[in-house]
Structure 1
Amino acid sequence: MRRLTRWTAWLGLCAVLLTAAAAAILGFTSTGQAMVAEAGSRSPQELIRYLKRRLEGHNKLEAVLLPPLHVAQRHFEREPPAGPLPTLGKGQQAQALKNAMQGITQELRVDSPQGIRQALLDAKPGTRIMVAPGLYPFSLKMRLGNNGRSDAPIVLSAEQPGTVWFEFGQVEGILVDRPYWVFENLDIRGVCERHDDCEHAFHVVSRAAFTTIRNNRITDFNAHIKVNGYNGDWPDHGLLAYNTLTNTRPRETLRSVVPFDLVGANHWRVQDNLVSNYTKRDGNMVSFGIFMKGASEGGRIERNLVICSLGDISRPGVRVGISYGGGGTDPPMCRDGSCHSYEHRLGLAANNIVAHCNDTGLDVNQSNQVMLAHNTLINTSGIGTRGTKAQARLYGNLYEGVARARDGSSLQMDFNETLDPQSSFMNTDELLLDWRLPPERVPSLKSLPNDFYRRPRATGSFPGALN
């Protein structure tokens, strides 16, 4: 009886799909129109994944329906080009950033793992801990000993990028729980055999306000940078700039896979980073490149290059680019104790380029008063808002896919344009983004005077990240 019921259910599903398709073509009945409307609330990528999941274990149906689904998936999810993609000037720079930290009055040079560990405990405000070139393995969490000050931060750095390598074999690399610390010009790698054992390169918690993490290359972690509160204290006003956050292979873990994972902290700026290749192989297989959630507010995500997949874009799982709200937060982890009113509010994602994601490039989940402006989305399913508390304004974005409001959310759209990958740029999928056929200009926003490359926008500006 169970087998008969299962086959009956599948025959019913097939009949529903055929009916919906017929209604889409003929537009005869209100039932057919309702089915089309329901299908329209999901992207083609989502529908294909849903159908493939439902077909699992039904060998005869798989034999008939999987081949056309694979063809459709290859159409909607183009495989990224082989070989490295250009970084477009984002991520770790080859030279140290020119704007040196102010307030440094002394330098402490170290050249051993134990020397680094001790310096982190001993350094006083105004100290730069300069690490000599070399490879430094660590297997235990590193901790900080003193607070920096706004006029005298404490800095851990290499003199030049590409000269100092840290290898972390521990769950957390550096626990940052003191204010006004800076970490720059380092190459940090997770070397754990079990991916569960390499969670974070930096865990920024509690009183670590005004943390700066800039111009580093961080590879092979589940959540490379984790930011959250502890005991009622929150590490607000942080800066993540010009970092490369990536993985060399899919993460074999049930834990969250989010290169920048912020919960509850306010007024962080995430700018000019390169975030790429963050596939979660196990568990729910859902991963995000950057998210802010947990009743946080005022986060600015600007001028980043996010590439969900460097290859095998249609492998199982879901990969999202930038999100306010992520997958939601367990209430005890929320800044307000519940996330009842919002996951994030007053957020801005602007002038980002997001590419090669099998799900949304921009996502707003239970977050409100969010502005998504002048972003370019390439080979993604588009933009989505989710949940009754979600409210976003889209202005001047250039995107493939669809923009859709789901589950009672609200979406205001102004001057957005659909991206044609064949005609808009010289080679869209290879990120060769010189204009071939530029769109019509739109009114510029005074609050966003510059583009992805920090070039000034004129009174009339192209939609998307590139002026």
Structure 2
Amino acid sequence: MRINIRPYLLYFLIPITLMLLAGCAVLYYLQQAGVTPRALSPYVERRTSDHNPFIVKAGELAGKTLMQLDRGIALPHQAIHTTIGAQANPLPRTGLESAPHATQAESDILVTSGTQLVAALAKANPGDVITIMPGTYYVVGTPLIANRPGTASNRITVRAIQSGTVFLEFNLGEGFQVSAPYWTFENLSIRGVCQYHDNCEHAFHVTGGARYFVSLNNTISDFNAHFKINGSDGRMPDFGLIEGNTLSNTSARKTSNPVTLIDLVAANNWLIRRNMISDFIKDQGDRISYGAFAKGAGAANKFEQNIVLCEHLLRGATGQRVGLSLGGGGTGKEYCRDGRCITEQDKSIIQSNLIASCSDDGIYLNRAAASVVTHNTLLDTAGITVRFPESSADIEGNLVDGAIRSRDQGLLRSQDNKETSIALLYLGYHPVRSLFLQPEAANFMVKDQLPRRSDTPGKLPDLCGDSRPATPSYGAFEDFSGCLLSMQRVK
């Protein structure tokens, strides 16, 4: 049978065919290059910003369209009160920790004023329990110095008997300066109240000899880096624990200084577990911020069972926000543990975390060797990136609404993950995100069932503390309802 195509139809079919072929070629290139729509969007807007008004408007429209294809329509998030953060944590505790709701003992050193707190810290001895009585304490000018050592069997503890009863308001660059080993801080509510955000840098600066530091069940807000951890005078504060804390900011940080809520440099063997980390927007300078990172030639650090919401109650700001990172943005050699930073991290682990609502990567590995990234759930992020030849990572069992990719010759061993092709993101298709009820509003309940692995070696921790079967679901959790105390819509 002879097909008769009218000649004038060719004028339409040929251009349409060429456009489709060109579109497929562009998608193939973007897929191979690892360029997500949310990464391309600001690039397009920047490149068209200095042209005539028509081109500027076209660039803005293209950027907005790309961002909506990737991120969807932004909805108000619900305030999440979880068993991960402060005031409740049913999961098993380690021997280093004490109970979140403690009882007062006769031997406690009771503090009822800022002056008394300063004095108690200055003369603290091993085994002291400095109990701050309920109230609000305003601290200005001089940091609170913790430089007296405890011991493994007799830690020095600074605490409130019950969370939500002691409020420390810091109007100073650093709140607690901890430079001695075996200090524990628990059940405290700490807020930065500086008029200028440059002046509220850290709630805790853990440095030098502050080995075996513990922060348990604290609620901390409105600092550039809630925890700053680094070496000093050749000593490193290794073996720290940050568990069950709620870390956030109530507004975008108007600063050009680094904004990273847990800023870990050059220390080894830290466990950062079961924290709620959210709203870390940097509003000036390069506008790049992180929920938490470990860098500076450290090793054997672990991020486990955290909820990281880059944009939770703060939404829509420009800039790049990364969830968790091994390597961060890199470290000056003088700050590195080995003085060289051949690698930023070695043999560190990111597992069983929920990371969501990030304008950039959910997990970013920068010169991070022998890394393990397993059973994380990433929603509304650019995915997982392994970058530079010094990086190597085993990535397994993750549930990723985005892509898992290598850049600049990073060594990536990806096995048995559920991810989304970059090409599909440009079409606005998100099969992983569609498994959940309303992740764009911070509702991470599952519609039906999550896909399951056929089997997995070893015992995996569950984000919400549930037991995991022999054939676990991909990602961080079996049932998110186990993480929730309550969910309340924020008007």
| Length-normalised TM-score, structure 1 | 0.89
Structure 2: runs of 5+ lacking an equivalent: 1-17, 100-104, 420-429, 479-491
Aligned equivalent of 1:322: 324
Q: Equivalent of 2:78, from 77, 84, 105?
A: 84
CA distance in 2, matches of 1:389, 1:380: 24
Distance 2:418 2:408 in 1: 24
Q: Residue 49 of structure 1 corresponds to which residue in structure 2?
A: 42
Q: Secondary structure at the match of 2:108?
A: strand
2:472 aligns with one of 450, 461, 464:
461
How do 1:75-154 residues align onto structure 2 when only pairs under 5 Å count? Answer: 75-93=69-87, 101=98, 106-139=107-140, 140-154=142-156
- Give 1:74's aligned amino acid: Q
Task: Provide the residue aligned with 2:412 in structure 1.
Answer: 411
After superposition, what is the alpha-carbon deviation per residue over 1:4-63, rounded to whole angstroms, capped at 9, x for unaligned? xxxxxxxxxxxxxxxx97654465xxxx7985466x322111111111111222233112
- Opposite residue 196 of structure 2, the aligned amino acid is R
CA distance in 2, matches of 1:148, 1:26: 64
Q: For residues 97 and 397 of structure 1, what CA distance do their matches in structure 2 show?
A: 22
SS at match of 1:259: strand
Q: CA 1:422 to 1:278, structure 2 compared with 1: closer, same or farther past 3 Å?
A: closer
Bigger Cα displacement from structure 2, 90-99 vs 128-137: 90-99
Q: Hey, what's the Cα distance between the residues in 1 that align with 2:127 and 2:40?
A: 55
**1:256 matched residue in structure 2:** 258
List alignment gaps of at least 5 residues for structure 1.
Answer: 1-19
Partner residue in 2 for 1:186: 188
Q: Which amino acid aligns with 1:112?
A: S
Kept after mapping to 1: 8 A contact 2:77/2:313: no
Aligned-pair CA distance for 1:106: 3.3
Cα shift readout 1:271-320 (whole Å, capped 9, x = no counterpart): 00000000001111000001000000001100000000125644321000
Give, in angstroms, the shift of residue 65 of structure 1.
2.8
* SS of equivalent residue, structure 1 residue 92: coil
Alignment of 1:177-256 (within 5 A): 177-256=179-258
Taking a change above 3 Å as real, the CA distance of residues 67 and 346 of structure 1, as seen in their structure-2 partners, is same
Aligned residues between the structures: 442
CA distance in structure 2 between the aligned counterparts of 1:407 and 1:430, rounded to whole angstroms: 34
Task: Report the counterpart of residue 446 of structure 2 in structure 1.
Answer: 435
Identical counterparts, % of pairs: 33
The equivalent residue for 1:394 is 395
Mapped contact 2:79–2:313 kept (Cα < 8 A):
no
- Is residue 332 of structure 2 the alignment partner of residue 294 of structure 1? no
| 426-435 or 48-57, which deviates more | 426-435
Q: 1:331 aligns with which of 330, 333, 348?
A: 333
Work out which of the residue numbers 53, 66, 77 in structure 2 matches 1:72: 66
**Structure 2 vs 1, CA of residues 26 and 47 (structure 1 numbering), >3 Å: closer, same or farther?**
closer
In 2, distance between residues paired with 1:325 and 1:422?
27
C-alpha distance in 1 between matches for 2:168 and 2:175: 9
CA pair 460-26 structure 1, distance change in 2 beyond 3 A: closer
Q: Work out whether residues 314 and 358 of structure 1, in 8 Å CA contact, stay in contact via their aligned partners in 2.
A: no
| Structure-to-structure mapping, 1:337-356, within 5 angstroms | 337-340=339-342, 342-356=343-357
Q: Distance in 2 between matches of 1:36 and 1:226?
A: 37
C-alpha deviation, 1:88, in angstroms: 3.5
2:378 is matched by which residue type in structure 1?
A: L
Q: Are the equivalent residues in 2 in contact too, given 1:96–1:160 (CA < 8 A)? A: no
> In terms of mean alpha carbon deviation, does 390-399 or 434-443 score higher?
434-443
SS at the partner of 1:74? helix
Report if aligned partners of 1:368, 1:392 keep a CA contact under 8 Å in 2.
Answer: yes
User: Which shows bigger deviation, 309-318 or 372-381?
Assistant: 309-318
- Matches of 1:157 and 1:170 in 2, distance apart? 21
Question: How many angstroms does 1:390 deviate by?
Answer: 1.0
Distance 1:409 1:26, change over 3 A: closer
Structure 1 position 160, deviation (Å): 0.4
The structure-2 alpha-carbon separation of the partners of 1:97 and 1:106, relative to structure 1 and needing over 3 Å to count, comes to: farther
- The question of 1:423 aligning with 2:442 is answered no
| Structure 1 pair 335–145 and aligned structure 2 pair: CA distance change class (3 A) | closer
Hey, what's the Cα distance between the residues in 2 that align with 1:170 and 1:247?
Answer: 16
Q: Distance in 2 between matches of 1:191 and 1:444?
A: 50
8 Å CA contact 2:282, 2:289 repeated in 1? yes
Q: Call closer, same or farther: CA 1:378–1:91 in 2, change over 3 Å.
A: same
Partner SS for 1:392: strand
Distance in 1 between the 2:355 and 2:231 partners? 29
Q: What is the CA–CA distance in structure 1 between the aligned matches of 2:114 and 2:206, rounded to whole Å?
A: 21
Q: Does 1:157 align with 2:159?
A: yes
C-alpha contact 2:78 2:441 (8 A) present in aligned 1: no
SS of 2:369's partner is coil
Say if 1:286 and 1:317, in contact at 8 Å, map to a contact too.
yes
Report the alpha carbon displacement of residue 155 of structure 1 after superposing the two structures with TM.
0.2
Give the C-alpha shift of residue 442 in structure 1: 1.2
Distance 1:446 1:401, change over 3 A: same
SS of the residue aligned with 1:75?
A: helix
Larger displacement relative to structure 2 (438-447 or 328-337): 438-447
**1:451 partnered with 2:462:** yes
- C-alpha displacement at 1:364, in angstroms? 0.5
- CA distance 1:117–1:446, shift in 2 (3 Å): farther
Residues 30 and 36, structure 2, Cα contact 8 Å, conserved in 1: no
Note if contact 1:80-1:309 (Cα within 8 Å) is conserved in structure 2. Answer: no
In the superposition, relative to structure 1, how do residues 151 and 335 fare at CA in structure 2: closer, same or farther (>3 Å)?
Answer: same
